[in-house]
Amino acid sequence: MNVADDWRERAARLADYLASEGLDPAWTAVFARVPRHEFVNGGHAVDTDGVAPDAADWNREELLREAYADQVVVTRYETAGGEPVATSSASQPLIVAIMLRLLNVRDDSRVLEIGTGPGYNACLLCTRLGEQRVTSVEIQSDVVADARDNLARVGFHPHLEVTDGTLGCPSRAPYDRVIATCGLSRIPEAWLDQLAPHARVVAPMNFGGALAVLDRRPDGSLSGRFPREAGFFMELRHPGDSWEPKPPGYLAVPPRVIKTDIDVDVLGDMEFRLWLELAAPDVQVHPSRVADGRLVEVRISTPDTRIDIEVDGAIRAVEYGKSLWRTVEGLAADWEAHGRPDRGRMGMTVTPERQWVWLDAEDSDVLWEL
């Protein structure tokens, strides 16, 4: 095998794996043709425990092994609070494949990507649709420069622009599809004006890993149900945002051991995580260990509170700062009372005036304003 082509067998195996997970044949062929290693060289592979091995100088074999594994590869770090913080990455191929399947492109679709990163997703889109139909925006100019070089190296020159992702890219509108690779709290209003009739938006939301799949309706609003898949992404950033962490407000308060009657299965359930983060937007759930698809070590936090929880046959929890546990217990009871709904029963609607998530139907009494 020619050394220059030694990646193709690995790319084909990755594509076959994605096909076994439900990727359609057209996208499967694209994944087999795209050299992912050209977009992650010098990165850091993130394994299932969230650890980034020190791999800035991989040899050829290491590069190919890590590039074509189904894993995130962090491609850029900044230092904040004395610790490395991931600021750009090539997403896990499986979640990329899921989102591209949900995007439901046609051969003539014009696509806007929010969050260029190293350019891997843009390359997939260019391979499927042609570079003239792909626009990608990114707030970090150095990231865009790297992505432009990466894409040029494999023969593509889509329109890349350094800008705040909330603004979209009006000069290239209208778009048939918009796909975001960063977490959002709301759909930016500017996007609504840049959508073609019958457009679709696929975007990861900052609550519970929900993936918004929203279709444009004749009145210009967007609506759609959440798929059962979940995806977690770096939060969308704005000009002037700092990577420096804000000092927590709970450090001066002595910790408290918590006793609770919450069902042990609830705290480890990803669907309860979505319910909790929707109902209490300041609350964030940080899984620190997952076993057999369930959370077994969890941190629940706000700027003023931290709760460290182990879920392994019994619940062991310690709370720091202001009391949050009663809120967690109340929302757990509420989730139970509604029949432990999963994300497939939820959806989201966006109008120029408001945005909300609903349970079962758009006009449901159970809803969360965003």
Catalytic residues: 91
| Nearest alpha-carbon partner for 50 in 66, 75, 72, 67 | 72
Distance CA 192, CA 219 (A): 11
- Name residues whose C-beta falls within 8 Å of residue 264's C-beta, 6 or more positions apart in sequence: 311, 313, 314, 315
Edge-to-edge order in the sheet of strand 315-321? 256-258, 315-321, 305-311, 294-302, 284-291
On whether the CB atoms of residues 260 and 325 are closer than 8 A, the answer is: yes
**Cα 69 to Cα 228: distance, rounded to the nearest angstrom:** 23
CB 358 within 8 A of CB 347: yes
Integer Cα distance of 222 and 219 in angstroms: 9
Q: Are 73 and 90 in contact (CB under 8 A)?
A: yes
CB 311 within 8 A of CB 296: yes
Query: Distance between CA atoms of 307 and 284, rounded to whole angstroms?
Result: 11
Nearest to 183 by CA among 202, 167, 196: 202
- Retrieve residue 335's tokens: 């989730």
CA-wise closest residue to 133 among 144, 122, 141, 120: 122
Find all residues with CB under 8 Å of 56, minimum gap 6, and list them. 42, 43, 44
Name the helix (H) or strand (E) containing 28. helix 25-33
The phi, psi pair for 264, rounded to 5°, reads -60, -30
Beta bridge partners of 203: 212
Q: What are phi and psi of 72, to 5 degrees?
A: -70, 140
202 vs 194: CA distance, rounded Å = 14
